[in-house]
């Protein structure tokens, strides 16, 4: 995903999170996010999947494990001021655990 596309997606996600599903403009924002995600998926299928298919099975398996680890460490909510690959990698160890603690407290308070 290009930096511009990541910026747009992060801003849209943050806006939707702030607005909430009952807020004004939520559906419009959701449609914009859908368009951005579909465009991203189409580009991945066109440009990235062929490259991945050329990699060996072991390398693809290793990449899969790296993605699983990143998911475990990643923040659980959008942080629109953190954009770009380097910024995301630096922020992940801070925002990921902080978001998970926040989620845990929220679940504890609501009894969910």
* Three-state secondary structure call for residue 31: helix
Instruction: Identify the CA nearest to 81 among candidates 6, 2, 23.
Output: 6
pLDDT of 17 over the 60 cut:
yes
Contact 88, 9 (CB under 8 A): no
Instruction: Identify the CA nearest to 82 among candidates 6, 16, 28, 30.
Output: 6
Taking residues 27-34, what's their average pLDDT? 94
Q: What is the pLDDT of residue 1?
A: 47
Contact 92, 73 (CB under 8 A): yes
Instruction: Produce one character per residue of 3-28: b if its CB has 16 or more CB atoms within 10 Å, e if not.
Output: eeebebbbbbbebbeebeeeeeeeee
Taking residues 47-67, what's their average pLDDT? 93
Q: What is the pLDDT of residue 11?
A: 86
Confidence (pTM): 0.52
């Amino acid at each position: 995903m290009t930096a511009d596309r990541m910026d747009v997606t992060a801003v849209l996600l943050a806006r939707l999170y702030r607005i909430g599903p009952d807020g004004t403009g939520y559906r419009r924002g959701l449609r914009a996010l859908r368009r951005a995600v579909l465009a991203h998926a189409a580009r991945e299928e066109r440009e990235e999947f062929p490259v991945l298919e050329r990699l060996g099975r072991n390398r693809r398996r290793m990449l899969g494990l790296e993605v699983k680890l990143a998911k475990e460490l990643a923040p659980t909510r959008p942080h629109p001021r953190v954009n770009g690959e380097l910024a995301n990698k630096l922020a992940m160890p801070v925002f990921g655990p902080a978001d998970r603690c926040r989620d845990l407290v929220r679940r504890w308070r609501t009894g969910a």
